[in-house]
């Protein structure tokens, strides 16, 4: 039996999943933009509640789990702040982002009222707007056209 050698074209081939991973894993501003947009989507707008057509995400869903859920969603919100820090955003803007996450986490931990607050207050969306404003000003090549 003759061992099979990979075809030269196949050895250099890339697959869509590999391309997507490379696009998300970089340290450049465009990759950071894609990561924070994807995380914000998962945390704030991943699914639609039937009947009222209101988008909710993992943040509101985790808020239903007492204490641990709010702590976990707060940690995920801090990832956006960490990425903003890596982009070199101002300390004032970072403090504002930390306040958004802190308010969301603290009030979200209150039983029942916190669940309603999580449903209405979208700290991750607020923080994404701050990051996008910075990227649009300092890294205009990363800008995309929003379909909203």
User: What pLDDT digit, counting tens, does each position of 3-21 carry?
Assistant: 555 555 555 556 566 665 6
User: What pLDDT digit, counting tens, does each position of 53-106 carry?
Assistant: 999 999 999 988 888 999 999 999 999 999 999 999 999 999 999 999 999 999
User: What pLDDT digit, counting tens, does each position of 27-41 carry?
Assistant: 889 999 999 999 999
CA distance 98 to 82: 10
Q: What is the mean pLDDT of residues 117-143?
A: 92
Q: Which residues of 14-51 are buried (b: 16+ CB within 10 A; e: fewer)?
A: eeeeeeeeeeeeeeebeebbbbbeebbbebbbeeeeee
Give the pTM. 0.79
Query: Residue 55: enclosing H or E segment and its boundaries?
Result: strand 54-56
Q: pLDDT at residue 130 above 90?
A: yes
């Amino acid at each position: 039996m003759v061992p099979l050698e990979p075809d030269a074209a196949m050895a250099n081939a890339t697959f869509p999943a590999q391309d997507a991973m490379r696009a998300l894993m970089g340290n450049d501003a465009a990759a950071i933009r894609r990561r924070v947009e994807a995380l914000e989507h998962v945390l704030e707008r991943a699914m639609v509640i039937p009947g009222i057509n209101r988008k909710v995400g993992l943040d509101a869903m985790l808020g239903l789990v007492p204490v641990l859920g709010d702590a976990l969603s707060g940690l995920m919100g801090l990832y956006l702040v960490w990425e903003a820090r890596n982009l070199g955003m101002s300390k004032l803007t970072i403090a504002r982002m930390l306040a958004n996450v802190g308010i969301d986490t603290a009030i979200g931990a209150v039983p029942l009222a916190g669940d309603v607050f999580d449903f209405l207050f979208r700290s991750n969306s607020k923080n994404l707007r701050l990051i996008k404003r910075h990227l649009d000003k300092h890294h205009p090549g990363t800008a995309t056209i929003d379909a909203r």
